[in-house]
Amino acid sequence: MALDTETPLNSLGFAKPPSETRVVVAMSGGVDSSVVAAYLADQGYDVVGVTLQLYDHGAALAKKGACCAGIDIHDARRVAEERGFPHYVLDYENIFKDAVIDEFADSYLAGATPVPCIRCNERVKFKDLLETAKDLEADCMATGHYIQRKMGPNGPELHCAEDANRDQSYFLFSTTPEQLEFLRFPLGHLPSKDATREMAAQYGLSVADKPDSQDICFVPNGNYASVIEKLRPGAAEPGEIVHADGRVLGQHDGVIHYTIGQRRGLGIGGLSEPLYVVKLDVDRKQVVVGPKELLATRTIPVREINWLGDEPFTSQNEWHVSVKVRSTRPPREAIIRPLTDTTAEVELLTPEEGVSPGQACVFYETGGSRIFGGGWIWRGY
């Protein structure tokens, strides 16, 4: 039978009417994913809302500012009822603990500064939830992330959001080409978060004025150390605060209370020069401090690389790109030198301060919006 070449593509890229296109929307209960669900339902798509219960929401009910708590499940369900599409809550507590929380604790105990939101996208939302969407016979899965998926000559490409202030590309670098085929990000082209809230108001959504989540969902008030101590009792072992030149300057209550680049709250006053945490030596239980210039890093070992370029990663000795080494920093020009398909050495053209193992190093097109993937910063030994 000849292919029907006359049917135009709908807004999600399928050659069939929206009513025959099933889309699973990952709903956190916040305004972003709620707007995505309402917008697609309004366009006539066959929308199915899915919310993940990621941890004990009995404990989370009283906690504001985090996704996937009990109140957020209620909000997602309410939006689905208001807009007239089915909504399911999936218990992913065990998956989330195994894939995200345990590694978060272990990374911190090893002196790293992990980014659990990336692992959650990689191992839970874009893996298990995406498979669930396929089981529901969905054509695609849509999320409320601020990032753009654009069709290029070699298939879908990942691009930064139109609004640089909302861009979430740093947290989505590990999205694979196969996942990108199935994913859609309807908010990525919007000029601002205000535009999202205006849409929420237009649709009459009960979450239109709901505040954005601020913290990692299972870390109340940003207090990482207290969470680690609950997960790994006895983890906060005391030790010495040592100057990079070898002098012992004081005592600490546990390496887990410190991060690379930290200046305040070191508990070592009366010194003539400002000191920063430059190294966390877990084996010796030492927090190593020194002057700011010791924080400057030019060469970064990166592993577990997800490459989104058009040619194989190892097809070139060098890739001239820009990289982000923290979510809050702008991309800086760099040279990536592949070692294997998934490891590389990244040379920053301008040294960065406070580069920390456990953070991501994300690759960007210099002067453009495309994301070429990224990997995880480690110590290199």
Query: Is 27 annotated as contributing to ligand binding?
Result: yes
User: Nearest Cα to 257, choosing from 231, 290, 223?
Assistant: 223
Q: Is 140 a catalytic residue?
A: no
Q: Is 120 a catalytic residue?
A: yes
- SS (HEC) of the chain: CCCCCCCCCCCCCCCCCHHHCEEEEECCCCHHHHHHHHHHHHCCCEEEEEEEECCCHHHHCCCCCCCCCHHHHHHHHHHHHHHCCCEEEEECHHHHHHHHHHHHHHHHHCCCCCCHHHHHHHHHHHHHHHHHHHHCCCCEEECCCCEEEEEECCEEEEEECCCCCCCCHHHHCCCCHHHHHHEECCCCCCCCHHHHHHHHHHCCCCCCCCCCCCCCCCCHHHCHHHHHHHHCCCCCCCEEEEECCCCEEEEECCHHHCCCCCCCCCCCCCCCCCCEEEEEECCCCEEEEECHHHHEEEEEEEEEEEECCCCCHHHCCCEEEEEECCCCCCCEEEEEEECCCCCEEEEEEEEEECCCCCCEEEEECCCCCEEEEEEEECCCC
Query: Is 167 annotated as contributing to ligand binding?
Result: no
| Buried-state track 292-327, b at ≥16 Cβ within 10 A, e below 16 | eebbebeebbbeebbbbbeeebeeeeebebbbbbbb
Q: Are 303 and 345 in contact (CB under 8 A)?
A: no
Query: Is 141 annotated as contributing to ligand binding?
Result: no
Query: Is 206 annotated as contributing to ligand binding?
Result: no
- Considering the candidates 67, 68, 120, 361, report the single residue annotated as catalytic: 120
Query: Is 244 annotated as contributing to ligand binding?
Result: no
Query: Is 26 annotated as contributing to ligand binding?
Result: yes
Query: Is 29 annotated as contributing to ligand binding?
Result: yes
- Considering the candidates 67, 117, 140, 217, report the single residue annotated as catalytic: 217
Interhelix angle for 193-202 vs 31-42, to 10°? 50
Query: Is 31 annotated as contributing to ligand binding?
Result: yes
User: Which residue ranges are tagged as binding site for ATP?
Assistant: 26-33, 52, 144
Q: Which residues are catalytic?
A: 120, 217
